[in-house]
Amino acid sequence: MKMIGRMILVLLMFSQAVNAQDDAPVEKRGFDRSRLFGGGSFALNFGNITIINISPQVGYRFSRYLAAGVGVNGQYSSFKTINGYDGSTLSRENYGVAGLNIFGRFYPIEQVILQVQPEANYVWGKVKYYDPPQAFKLKGKVVPSLLLGAGGAIPMGGAGAFIIMAQYDVLQNERTPYGSKVFFSFGYNFGF
């Protein structure tokens, strides 16, 4: 009888240990700082075409599938048209963009991103012609954009990931900073 009692006790302890391995970890509720991430767009190009873009974003990963966040846009671009015969400057165009955005991301699988990003950008600029000398100032105005995109997230250790996206401004307002074609962006997300 003692032998049967010991065997039942051992079996009960073993079954509890096996059962404990099957329990899924309880998801933490409320704000979790480890779900915060930062990133955005940063670009520099100098020459006949000069582009400076500093557009940081911060977001929160609500679940394995959903993330959202906010960002600011800051861009400067300058385009110089050169005379092919003598190398003189024919014209110069300067544009600036300052704005705000929000974004939402859906991750159908860990490495694939679908994104929607509404923006409100204040856009201004000027065009200067050198022969004959003329200058035009473009009145600043708020230009809304709605970017839809898809891309990939390549994990780079910890909470970091290299982001590659194809995006398109579906509103196509006059003076949109994104043009009329699909554009590509590359960036990095890092965890806090």
Could you give the domains of the chain?
A: 35-191 (2.40.160)
pLDDT: is 21 or 140 the higher one? 140
The separation between CA 96 and the C-alpha centre of its own chain, rounded to angstroms, equals 20
| Burial per residue of 72-84, b for 16 or more beta-carbon CB atoms within 10 angstroms, e otherwise | ebebebbeeeeee
Q: Which of 73, 175, 51 is nearest to 123 (CA)?
A: 175
Tens-place pLDDT, residues 71-119: 999 999 999 999 889 988 999 999 999 999 999 999 999 999 999 999 9
Helix (H) or strand (E) holding 10: helix 2-22
Q: Which two tokens stand for residue 44?
A: 């520099």
Residue 127: pLDDT above 90?
yes
Q: Which of 72, 9, 62 is nearest to 40 (CA)?
A: 72
Cβ-contact 79, 70 below 8 angstroms? no
Q: Is 168 exposed, middle or buried (0-12, 13-18, 19+ CB in 10 A)?
A: middle
In terms of phi and psi (left: phi > 0; alpha: psi -120 to 50; beta: otherwise), the region of 175 is left
pLDDT band at 2 (very low <50, low <70, confident <90, very high): low
Distance CA 80, CA 74 (A): 21
pLDDT attached to residue 63:
94
Residue 19: pLDDT above 50?
no
